Each structure stands twice: as structure tokens, then as C-alpha cells.
Structure 1
Amino acid sequence: MREREREVVRARGHENVTARHGSTLEVTSDDWLTPAGDCILAVEADRVPADFDDAFVEACRDPEATITVTLTATTESGETYEETITGRGDPELSFENERSHVGRTSDYVDDRTVLVGGSAAAGDLDRDLVDALADGADLRFELVVDVE
């Protein structure tokens, strides 16, 4: 197995987080969120896909790659909620977007896509984690890629 590559993004929840979308989840660098953004988990991301290291991007382009996303929400009082989602890489992943990270349960790829074939979407997440994000919790969005 090649060395694991890792990227960490920090963002924060928002009062309009509902996390109801059935096929995607998103973390954005935008500083706002409308109620229509039902896939968005957090705003004000400190990094975007275009910031990721070339070695990470290259590893994610391997169709045999496993990409694991760990979402860790931490409230002001120090409570933490964590969830892990696994997906896979794709040769079409570009990591060129300068705004948003999108995980997908489908095979669809655009410049925002950071994994395909995900084991969960926003609507599948633990509601305690979602409630914490709706209350403005900090989010640690960690992506780890493993290639056989």
C-alpha cells in the first residue's frame, strides 16, 4: 500500500444547516447558507479543493483508491460528534474548485467532487451531529486516501 495522503479542512456550522440531501454532502468556503442548501454541512471552510497537495490529488484519481471522510463537530461547550463516510476515487477528479467540497453517493464528477460512491450523504448523518452544526459548531472535515 502506498503512503496515506491526508487533507484537513476546518469550517463552522450555520443556523440554516438541515443536512437533508439524499445523495450529496458539501462543505463550502462561502460565509452564508440559505435554507435551500440542504446538502451543506458547514461554511467558511479554510481550504478548498484547489488548495490540496498534488500527491493527495493524484492518489484520489486512482479508481482503486478508498477515500475516507471523517466529520468531527465540536460545540462551544466542548461536546464532539463524529461520523465517518467512505467512498472511492475516480480518474476524473480534478480538485480545481475554489469554493466547495462535495462528496457524492453517485458516480457523478465535477470540479467540486472530492469522492464518489460515498457510503452516506447529508441526509444520512447522525442528527445530533447535524443539530450541533445548526447551532454553529466547528467542523473538522478530514479526508484520507488509501491506495492499494
Structure 2
Amino acid sequence: MDCSSWFSVEVVRFRGHPNVRATHTTTFEITKENYLTPRGDCIIGVSADKSLADFNDTFKKLAASDRSTLIIVIAVEGVGHDVVVARGSPNLTYSDETRIIVRKSAYTSPNTAGIHASKAAADLNKNLINGLKEGKEGIALFFVYR
């Protein structure tokens, strides 16, 4: 069965960092950067193995529709997981080569993966965040369907 016309998946591997605060109330971010300052209150993971620009073309095409739904499962080694639901938009370009940002608002930019998200960094499971503060490995599974 070929689902590529309405469904796509991307897997992003990353690690936590002692400066993960996860206090931002409107966004969360995963970055390819390998460092994090205490000011990065939306960043939950560093050293990601891909950015939005690396996502496959089918995923990008599907996400660029206001009829699309994104489901993001964030899991941390030995700790657990959390789930975030967001929406796609024709304004999403998936062109940023460093960052992946999910937003509760409707704001879009080259680093935006999804909008109208159900959760931001401050809403994520606290056990998950504590594991990331310890530097544990994480994975984010991005599902998009229309």
C-alpha cells in the first residue's frame, strides 16, 4: 500500500544538555547546534542529526497545507515520552538548516515545523525534561498526514 500521497514520517535524533530549561510557553525547539546557553528557554535538544531542510520532500509538501496534522512524539532514553499535535500551513517552507521549532501560535518562519501546537516546552512532561537536563539521548518522531 502506498501512503506517500497523504502520510510521511521523519525521525530526528538529538541529545539533552545541562542548560535545558524548557520554560518557554509558546514554542519548543530542537537544534543541530551542540551548545545551549541558559537564555535558550525553548530548546529541549541539541546536536540533532537533521534540521527542517533535511526533511524529505513528501513531508514538506504535506506539511505545507492547512489541512495537514502533525503528530510529534518526543521520547527520551529510559525516561518516557510525550506527544504534541500541531497543524500544517501553506506558509511553512522547511528551509532552515539548523533549527526545528514547533509553535502554539500561527507565526511561521523558515524554522517552523508546525503551528497551533497543543504544547510548548513548558507543557512537556517534566520527567522527560529532567532526563534531557541530564544529557540523555532523545528522539522526535514527526508524523504528518492530510
Counterpart residue number, 2:32: 29
Distance 2:7 2:60 in 1: 12
Q: CA deviation at 1:80?
A: 2.8
Counterpart residue number, 2:110: 111
Distance 1:17 1:55 in 2: 32
Which secondary structure state, in structure 1, belongs to the residue aligned with residue 72 of structure 2?
strand
Q: What letter is aligned with 1:30?
A: E
Distance 1:52 1:87 in 2: 17
Distance 2:53 2:9 in 1: 14
Q: CA deviation at 1:101?
A: 0.1
Q: CA RMSD in A?
A: 1.0
Counterpart residue number, 1:88: 87
Counterpart residue number, 1:61: 64
Runs of 5+ consecutive residues of structure 1 not aligned to the other structure: none
Runs of 5+ consecutive residues of structure 2 not aligned to the other structure: none
Give % identity.
Answer: 34
1:6 aligns with 2:9: yes
1:134 aligns with 2:133: yes
Q: CA deviation at 1:83?
A: 0.2
Q: CA deviation at 1:81?
A: 1.3
Q: Which of the residues 25, 41, 44 maps onto 1:41?
A: 44
Q: CA deviation at 1:43?
A: 0.3
Q: What letter is aligned with 1:60?
A: A
Distance 1:116 1:133 in 2: 24
1:15 aligns with 2:18: yes
Q: Which of the residues 48, 51, 54 maps onto 2:54?
A: 51
Q: What letter is aligned with 2:134?
A: D
